Amino acid sequence: MKRIVLFSAGIAAGIGLVILAAGWVGWPVSFPTATRETAATASAKPEARHGAPGHIELSEHQIRESGITLAKAGGGMLKRHFLAPGSLVPDADHIGRVSVRVLAAVTELRKRIGDSVEKGEIVAAIESREVADAKSEYLAARLTNDLQQTLYNRHKTLVESRTVSENEFLRTRLTANDAQIKLDGARQKLFALGLSEGEIADLPNQPPESLRKQFLRSPISGRVSERRVDLGGLIGREGQESELFVIVNLDDIWVDLAVSPEDIGAVREGVPVKIRAIGSDDEATADVIFVSPLLDRDTRNARVIATMSNKDHRWKPGTFVTAEVPLAGAPSTVVVSKKALQAIKGTPTIFVRDADGFEARSVRTGREDDDDIEIVAGLSAGETIAVGNTFTLKAELEKDEAEHDHD
């Protein structure tokens, strides 16, 4: 029995010597498994550590390196809206028409389509017998009135010295008043024909052959959008056209919207709306100035007009647009960015910051707009949450769950 023990001890000693000899001559030696795992762990890159299920441990340094941004959850008002189709039209307050009210011939056209004009600038000239008659009537009434006013003033002096009778003085005053009335009537007729105060005052200085001529002026500043006559054309009551030019000022433009009966109750005058041109990225803001109380008989929609500035004339009438009309609503206790929300196994989830990292917390959502969403359960105002690069946290959480399932 002792021999067997001694023999076993000798074998063990021999094996030890072989191992030592192998180490001296460079033969490969296998280390214990525990030693290999310790070395691999020491050289590996630090990763997120996982504690309880649904929790990701990250240090401040790891959060910064991952590009995860944080924000505090708080209350707010969702920017809810509905969309309404429409088109751009010229502002009705900035459309001017150059027209005549008498039979006349066009003798001069000073503007073409697209030309810019200033308010009061001459754009055309016409010749008309009615204009000549009206000017002649005014000049005759002016001379008659001057004479009658002179006679009245003389008789006023004479009646005070009792040179003329009082009855004769009264007849002179009546005639003077009648002449003044006729002069005022003749002047108003010229105003109705389009003559200015300066043109009427200068009539006595004009040669007789110019009485039939009349200059037409632009009522507003803008650009000529339409020219409806040609040189020498006949216009007026018996002519083909009474309108010569259409002048449009596009410094301001209208947005003509069609709003459904379901949404019209939420539209208020003075509310700003966002306008987007269909087929482009152009955007602008307009203010609602009119909400029709009536529905269109054919479309059953209500008309809404909004006005917007167009100083650079970038927006053109006829452009089809879509308007975002805001809706009034009650404030929400907790509102977060949609970027903070991730779907974990089909459940809305938010990553809430704690002392060691993030807790993946299931929440219940409510109303939403284009950017934000209301949290009605699962999150309180004031808690710090991840709002940027949250997909990184989602991937890490799913990776951990997959490893647990595999184990």
Whether 45 has a pLDDT exceeding 80, the answer reads no
Domain ranges in the chain with CATH number 2.40.50.100: 97-248
Instruction: Tell me: pLDDT of 4 over 70.
Output: no
Given a cut of 90, is residue 118 above it in pLDDT?
yes
State the pLDDT confidence band at 15, using cuts at 50, 70 and 90: very low
C-alpha angle with apex 144: 139 to 150, nearest 5 degrees? 130
Segment 67-108, tens digit of pLDDT: 888 888 888 777 777 889 999 999 999 999 998 888 899 999
pLDDT tens for residues 134-191? 999 999 999 999 999 999 988 888 877 777 788 888 899 999 999 999 999 999 999 9
**CB contact at 8 A, 362 and 345:** no
Mean pLDDT for 33-51 is 41
How confident is the model at residue 187, as a pLDDT?
A: 94
CATH topology of domain 49-78+331-406: 2.40.420
Residues 84 and 323: their CA atoms lie apart, in Å, by: 5
Range(s) for CATH 2.40.30.170 in the chain?
A: 82-92+251-326
**Residue appearing with tokens 């649904």:** 54
Q: What is the pTM of this model?
A: 0.58
**In the numeric block, which tokens belong to residue 211?**
């009485």
- Give me the pLDDT at residue 330, please: 66
Q: Is the pLDDT of residue 12 over 50?
A: no
Q: What is the pLDDT of residue 200?
A: 92
pLDDT (0 to 100) of residue 117: 95
Amino acid of residue 18: V
Structure tokens belonging to residue 134: 């009206």
| Mean pLDDT over each residue of the chain, to the nearest integer | 82
Which candidate, 78, 164, 10, 29, places its Cα nearest to that of 376? Answer: 78
Residue 193 scores a pLDDT above 60 = yes
In 3-state terms, what secondary structure has residue 225?
strand
Over residues 228-262, the pLDDT tens digits come to 989 998 888 765 568 899 999 999 999 999 999 98
What's the pLDDT at 392? 82
Q: If you ran DSSP here, which 8-state letter would residue 203 be given? A: G
Q: Is the pLDDT of residue 52 over 70?
A: no
The CATH superfamily holding the domain 82-92+251-326 is Efflux pump adaptor protein, beta barrel domain (2.40.30.170)
**What pLDDT is attached to residue 23?**
41
User: What confidence score (pLDDT) does residue 38 get?
Assistant: 38
User: Sign of dihedral through CA atoms 89, 92, 98, 100?
Assistant: positive
Q: What is the predicted pLDDT for the residue at 94? A: 94
Give kind and range of the element (H or E) at residue 3: helix 2-25
Residue type, 254: W
pLDDT of 111 > 80? The answer is yes
Tens of pLDDT, residue by residue over 255-300, are: 999 999 988 888 889 989 999 999 888 899 999 999 999 999 898 9
Take residue 104 and report the two structure tokens written for it.
């006349």
**Mean pLDDT over residues 216-232, rounded?**
92
Q: What is the mean pLDDT of residues 211-227?
A: 93
User: When comparing pLDDT for 17 and 78, which is higher?
Assistant: 78
Three-state secondary structure of 155-202: HHHHHHCCCCCHHHHHHHHHHHHHHHHHHHHHHHHHHHHCCCHHHHHC
Distances (CA, A) of 229 to 106, 118, 134: 8, 20, 24
Cα separation, 333 vs 86, whole angstroms: 35
Give the HSE-up count for residue 300: Cα atoms under 13 Å, Cβ half-sphere: 4
Q: Where in the chain is the domain with CATH 2.40.420.20?
A: 49-78+331-406
Q: Does domain 97-248 have CATH number 2.40.50.100?
A: yes
Query: Could you give phi then psi for residue 217, rounded to 5 degrees?
Result: -120, 155
